[in-house]
Structure 1
């Protein structure tokens, strides 16, 4: 601690932990709406017999810190003494210069504290050997319960694999689902739904029941369009200036991650190339990624460099990689992923496309991105692989999203356009007709609220048309 005095650290701790003197201060840092991850984290934190630390991992601005403050508020309501709760962010320039041990020693020297101590460490990846310190704290301090966050998920994952087995659980925090977006805004137009409505049951709805379902969702159309533009970042969702929100999205989420986090955490040698690659991925989002083509278009860089930089972006939660999956058919495309930007609004914020909502192709890309993200979030922690299918010798034979589970496969084709018709020869239809494909459900995500119901094709498994707005809302609600 030669560079930082104890007095400086004390001031930082007192600044971040104002509830030590005024417990009501926590209310200004929280939101009343709770996400799924909050409930999961509190289960681990307060479990009466199983002790686990919790690590929340996700991109910048997705609400990890808010979840921690909500947990702190809940602990205070349960009667935990305010001084038994410590919050610190290792993203603070001064705190970066000290260790977890320094923070803990100074904290425990401030006041006499009895009973359990609840530690909340934000952006823990910025402190050296964080996973070793957490291991030591878990093994040697039974009086400590700890929750941490990290923006670079695989760094956190590696630490969890190396030191965290049986000690802490990692919860991934995606951007808000469309359902969570509506809940955060407390929209009056939210539909009152039967709690028993699930995607797997949509094929059993009559035309009249589907019409009623579409009708209750009609007031959400304008909100769905805004969700695609603003994205699932809570602070920006609550903004009343959408243009400024998109600018903040570009500056805070993209620029800071690429120009600071990625460079710092992964020792990137060519920052300009990283920016160019991310722009390239935004332009080609949702398309089949050809590494050889990309290396040429990015200035004849090596494939190894390209793969490394892709890995860094994926680890920083800026992109998703969707790998090909076989669906009971030989000749499926191999080795070429589809790459999605992590939230549809990020792509639009970077490319700054004018009048994007009137551009059918661009809206289709944004909705496909949102659909993929929602399925990833829905199946997080479950035994499932999520990718796509494309037949090797026929590029028209494609299914945008394939969920491969032990019980079978779920297909989802995105047709977010005015004409969403599919042919009997389209992949989603032929695979749903093949008894050897192991398909259990098949969906077509459509644009119009009036475009719903089982398709007219005679298939082994019904192919159900469902408006994308309803699909995403139900996926988020069921998560």
Structure 2
């Protein structure tokens, strides 16, 4: 006897879509703070001229489902017929017994046969041939609008490349930025800032204007270290039990991806090696890695296997791979990547580190990870590469993060320690002085009072700025850019 009967499927659909009966979302579904990705996705969903389906890709618990509910709430507020809005989560075990066409046929037969439909699909990678069905919907149902989510973006990106060109786009949903964290946790000391204040204009401010800005940002510093510990996962950030939050992070975000998502999606027979690779990367976060070295460390696991696993972990939103950027016009022959765990809290949870806030080395790794994550998330929409610089030959010199902006390079060096010194022969100083293609340079510091222009006669001024202030201003800038683009 089949359990995936139309009656059973219909019951599931009604449970997923309470607005069909009540004309609104339950209060517990509604979250007042909207992620940056919400505005980007809504703009594409409702664009009057360019029709695109939207896929939200991000790690577990970053708030993708909440974004779907917020978009549904917006449609209801616009007066869209409730029966024309359908939400389906493919995490439900019963839905694994039927394909997408069967579910949609039951919906159209029993709920709404309308040509106009807003379809929201959660965890779409768990349904077979999802990309082919989206292609069919796009080509045969011109009045349909679709938003989907997925935690395993390797499959999503592959599907978008093969079937979705010109039909849908993938929007990355990173973990919360520090700015979003302050908003979602209702930090009381949030300052009112001019919309034109961005990290890139700091060097143009008068001394008294910079002092005033840093004075108003200073109260946020006390929230920054907790942000590093619990990470950018909304539900965990709102928890009052930080130890429990880390346990949930380890079990739900990491274990399920390593032991279930990636192995099932890529037919990995031995997930133990995958776990070992990820553990190795956690120990070596913020370092340049060598695949041959990893292979030897892991009992001579084939290099091609290591390379594939790095790709899977990156696309599963667990790591970032940062590649070198040239500052001297020389071609980079060996592009060895620098590794970052996707969120500082993930690394803390996996390694179960104690007292990281009192360990200068560990704290430096967490802050550099946060800096890279924020810059990578900020510039990905513009398709701008974010990498690092390393000068070889003689004394090796490195710049932690380099933004390869079309208008010129942005250099960022993390010095998150007490009394961090910068010498005139440091790479960020010499490159700011000599390179005509550098437009801004930042030294990321620890203390709230450690800010201002460096006393070097560089062509490009070098700005010292505390980590919490830099990240908050970056989020402030991103918010205002998105609001302007969407006319909010």
Q: TM-score, normalised by structure 2?
A: 0.95
**4+ residue runs over 4 A deviation:** 329-333
Residue 405 of structure 2 corresponds to residue 442 of structure 1: no
- Correspondence for 1:375: 375
- Correspondence for 1:294: 294
Residue 335 of structure 1 deviates from its aligned partner by 2.1
> What are the within-5 Å matches in structure 2 for residues 332-351 of structure 1?
334-351=334-351
- Correspondence for 2:83: 83
Distance (Å, rounded) in 1 between the aligned partners of 2:111 and 2:270: 48
- Correspondence for 1:162: 162
> What are the within-5 Å matches in structure 2 for residues 207-356 of structure 1?
207-328=207-328, 330=330, 334-356=334-356
> What are the within-5 Å matches in structure 2 for residues 29-178 of structure 1?
29-114=29-114, 116-178=116-178
Residue 308 of structure 1 deviates from its aligned partner by 1.0
Residue 139 of structure 1 deviates from its aligned partner by 0.7
RMSD across aligned positions (CA): 1.6
Residue 324 of structure 1 deviates from its aligned partner by 0.9
Note if contact 2:115-2:141 (Cα within 8 Å) is conserved in structure 1: no
Q: TM-score, normalised by structure 1?
A: 0.97
- Report the CA distance shift for 1:457/1:331 in structure 2 as closer, same or farther (over 3 A): farther
Distance (Å, rounded) in 2 between the aligned partners of 1:356 and 1:473: 22
Residue 462 of structure 1 deviates from its aligned partner by 0.6
Residue 455 of structure 2 corresponds to residue 462 of structure 1: no
Distance (Å, rounded) in 1 between the aligned partners of 2:285 and 2:419: 22
Note if contact 1:400-1:412 (Cα within 8 Å) is conserved in structure 2: yes
Distance (Å, rounded) in 1 between the aligned partners of 2:188 and 2:291: 47
- Report the CA distance shift for 1:187/1:333 in structure 2 as closer, same or farther (over 3 A): farther
- Report the CA distance shift for 1:214/1:394 in structure 2 as closer, same or farther (over 3 A): farther
Note if contact 2:258-2:274 (Cα within 8 Å) is conserved in structure 1: yes
Segments of 5+ residues of structure 1 without an aligned counterpart are none
Show CA shifts across 1:320-363 (max 9, x none).
Answer: 00011111164868321100000011001111111111111101
Show CA shifts across 1:419-447 (max 9, x none).
Answer: 221111100000001144x1111111111
- Correspondence for 2:485: none
- Report the CA distance shift for 1:302/1:386 in structure 2 as closer, same or farther (over 3 A): same
- When structure 1 is superposed on structure 2, of 215-224 and 276-285 the one drifting more is 215-224
Note if contact 1:131-1:163 (Cα within 8 Å) is conserved in structure 2: yes
Residue 395 of structure 1 deviates from its aligned partner by 5.7
Note if contact 2:24-2:76 (Cα within 8 Å) is conserved in structure 1: no
Distance (Å, rounded) in 2 between the aligned partners of 1:168 and 1:95: 24
- Correspondence for 2:451: 452
- When structure 1 is superposed on structure 2, of 241-250 and 107-116 the one drifting more is 107-116
Residue 278 of structure 1 deviates from its aligned partner by 0.8
Note if contact 2:84-2:112 (Cα within 8 Å) is conserved in structure 1: no
Segments of 5+ residues of structure 2 without an aligned counterpart are 479-488
Note if contact 2:198-2:476 (Cα within 8 Å) is conserved in structure 1: no
- Report the CA distance shift for 1:392/1:64 in structure 2 as closer, same or farther (over 3 A): same
Note if contact 1:83-1:113 (Cα within 8 Å) is conserved in structure 2: no
- When structure 1 is superposed on structure 2, of 328-337 and 35-44 the one drifting more is 328-337
Residue 49 of structure 1 deviates from its aligned partner by 2.5
- Report the CA distance shift for 1:180/1:382 in structure 2 as closer, same or farther (over 3 A): same
- Correspondence for 2:482: none
Distance (Å, rounded) in 2 between the aligned partners of 1:333 and 1:394: 17
- Secondary structure at the aligned position of 1:440 is classed as strand
- Secondary structure at the aligned position of 2:12 is classed as helix
Note if contact 1:396-1:426 (Cα within 8 Å) is conserved in structure 2: no
Residue 374 of structure 1 deviates from its aligned partner by 0.4
Residue 24 of structure 1 deviates from its aligned partner by 3.3
Note if contact 1:84-1:117 (Cα within 8 Å) is conserved in structure 2: yes
Show CA shifts across 1:112-133 (max 9, x none).
Answer: 4445211100111111111110
Distance (Å, rounded) in 2 between the aligned partners of 1:178 and 1:140: 42
- When structure 1 is superposed on structure 2, of 318-327 and 5-14 the one drifting more is 5-14
- Correspondence for 2:414: 414
Residue 291 of structure 1 deviates from its aligned partner by 1.4
Distance (Å, rounded) in 2 between the aligned partners of 1:369 and 1:5: 49
Residue 409 of structure 2 corresponds to residue 404 of structure 1: no
Note if contact 1:26-1:73 (Cα within 8 Å) is conserved in structure 2: no
Show CA shifts across 1:39-86 (max 9, x none).
Answer: 111112222232211111111111111000000011111111211111
Note if contact 2:25-2:73 (Cα within 8 Å) is conserved in structure 1: no
Distance (Å, rounded) in 1 between the aligned partners of 2:395 and 2:382: 30
Note if contact 1:324-1:333 (Cα within 8 Å) is conserved in structure 2: no
